[in-house]
Amino acid sequence: MFILNFIPGWFFPALAVTALLVFLISRFIKLPQAQLVHYLSIIVFAASLFMCGANWNNDYWLAKVKEVEAKLAQSEAESAKENTKIVEKVVTRREIVRLQGNEIVKYIDREKLVIDENCKIPELVVDLHNKAVKQ
């Protein structure tokens, strides 16, 4: 609640205790307009108890929010670590694929004459193609 940000936490319990004391005093000591003071103290006591509960509820949810924020910060840190690992794996994998692709291209350039002479697809080309697809 917005109003709870400006009122200190001790105010509503103190108000409840004060209202209870005024209730007891108005009950046992005869004052002018004692009935009005008696009923007002009951109303103030009930309102202060309600606000104590609202204050407790507000503190409870603020603690939950801080807990979730701490978990979120921890998850973000772990996510950053995992992201760096993934980037390193991707870079390493790209390098491996590039090197293997270069080797296959060099091998095909060497075997180009053998492949072109007979105009049929030898087993070697099929194996090279399958190796390139697997990687």
Instruction: Give a yes or no: residue 93 inside a domain.
Output: yes
pLDDT attached to residue 114 = 64
Tell me, what's the pLDDT at 19?
95
* DSSP tag of 29: S
Dist. CA 16–CA 39, nearest whole Å? 14
Dist. CA 48–CA 25, nearest whole Å: 18
For residue 54, the one-letter residue type is A
| Residues 41 and 2 sit within 8 Å (Cβ to Cβ) | no
pLDDT at 128 over 70: yes
Domain of 66 in residue numbering reads as 8-134
Model confidence at 110: pLDDT above 80: no
* Domain membership flag for residue 2: no
**Residue 63 pLDDT > 80, yes or no?**
yes
pTM of the predicted model as reported, rounded to 2 decimal places: 0.57
- More confidently predicted of 128 and 34: 34
In a domain, 113, yes or no: yes
* Spatial contact of 46 and 12, defined as CB atoms under 8 Å apart: no
Burial bucket for residue 106 (CB in 10 Å: 0-12, 13-18, 19+): exposed
- Type and span of the H or E element at 74: helix 34-118
Number of domains in the chain: 1
Position 130 scores a pLDDT of 77
Evaluate whether residue 1 is within a structural domain: no
DSSP structure class, residue 96: H
Looking at residues 21-45, what average pLDDT do you find?
A: 88
